[in-house]
Amino acid sequence: MMNRRRFLQASSLGLAATMLPCPQALAATRNDDTCSFVKPVCGTWFEFEHHNRAEGKYWDPTLPKFTTAQWKTKIREMYAAGMEYLVLLSVAHEGKTYYPSKLQPQHAYACPDPLEAILEEADNCGMKCFISNDFWTDWRQGVKNLTDKDIWLLREQGMEETAEKYAHHRSFYGWYYPHESELHLAFDDMALAYINRCSTIAHALTPKALTLIAPYGTRYVNGINDEYIRFLEKLDVDIMAYQDEVGVRKTQAGSAGKYYEDLYRMHVRAGRARLWADVEIFDFEGEVYKSALIPAPFERIRTQLQDVAPYVEQILIYQYLGMMNPPDSQAFAGHPDSVRLYGDYIRFINYKKQ
């Protein structure tokens, strides 16, 4: 693992801490009603199926019917909306893969290889994809997924197979580890071991690829925590896109900025990992985690973007697919209100360009 001095000498990653804006200078712009400082969304999570079926009610039935052309259309839509980065949630789900594999049977989709389709079109668009290394088994078995020897063997074989089949794509930019850990004071040793072991495999297979995680529990950040800084110093990951937790109703829009300011300071102190945001643009149709995800009002989302923008290098969203659709989309997937949210966001970024 790189020590801090080596990290700070390493090109763009080494400059991670100094690339970020100074929070003292920018914090005053957070509540500017004219939105004078709002970074546009630069990327989104992406999936072939939502792992929680209740939440994916409005797009899970549609995605298996997508043709290769429709998957490529969806990628072009996201590119046209300004998405540079795609973060793929999973390459498999409950014992079946979303690509032709020797390790598990494949989900029965109209497109013979959805992963190839999205990477090929991302190549054409100049986009950057973080490819998941997981959900080979039941994603809900948290501790087992991080510690079981057989699952680890399958995960490593899956990364090897994925790299062999797809790492030649220009858009294969990095890896995403989807078994997220909760940020409560500091991660535990089990989470540290999982992340660092995944990174060891990733570095061996694809030395130039970056690595990304998206921790939750951001609301637990409360000032500068020396224990967490020590954890960051030991963590081998390039990018941490913390969830703002507004969509899951654990944080209020307009209140998350204080957490990201503290995270900014801790990341600078640790000299490790670029600080990004994972902004939740959804709401729930009913009970949290037990009902469908639906698009949130853009007024709320704009507040979320304003809140985190001064402290992070890039803003990703969870997620375009299902929550946003052009009105004339030939690959429509999601809630009917996704057309409204798409239009509101496009008008907003076009206004910001003026």
Q: What is the pLDDT of residues 257-273, one digit of tens each?
A: 999 999 999 999 999 89
**pLDDT-derived band at 9, boundaries 50, 70, 90:** very low
- The pTM assigned to this predicted structure is 0.89
Q: Each residue of 77-87: pLDDT tens digit?
A: 999 999 999 99
| Amino acid in position 195 | I
pLDDT recorded at residue 199: 98
Nearest residue to 13 via CA among 230, 265, 231, 313: 313
Q: Each residue of 12-34: pLDDT tens digit?
A: 333 344 444 444 334 433 444 43
Over the range 224-255, which residues count as b (16 or more CB within 10 Å of their CB) and which as e? Answer: ebeebbebbbebbbbbbbbbbbbbbebbebee
Q: Each residue of 183-215: pLDDT tens digit?
A: 765 578 888 999 999 999 999 999 999 999 999
17, 142, 144, 169 from 138: Cα distances, Å: 36, 9, 9, 29
Q: Is 215 within 8 Å of 182 (Cβ atoms)? A: yes
Contacts of residue 104, defined as CB under 8 A and 6 or more positions apart, other chains included, come to: 92, 95, 96, 97, 136
Is a pLDDT exceeding 90 seen at residue 1?
no
- CA–CA separation, 32 and 156 (whole Å): 47
Q: Count CB-CB contacts under 10 A for residue 264.
A: 20
Q: Phi, psi at residue 174, to the nearest 5°?
A: -175, -175
* CATH tag, 44-353: 3.20.20.80
Q: Tell me the CB-side half-sphere exposure of residue 341, using CA atoms within 13 A.
A: 24
Percent of the chain having pLDDT more than 90?
Answer: 79
- CA–CA separation, 307 and 301 (whole Å): 10
Query: Tokens standing for 254?
Result: 């307009």
pLDDT recorded at residue 354: 66
Q: Each residue of 216-234: pLDDT tens digit?
A: 999 999 899 999 999 999 9
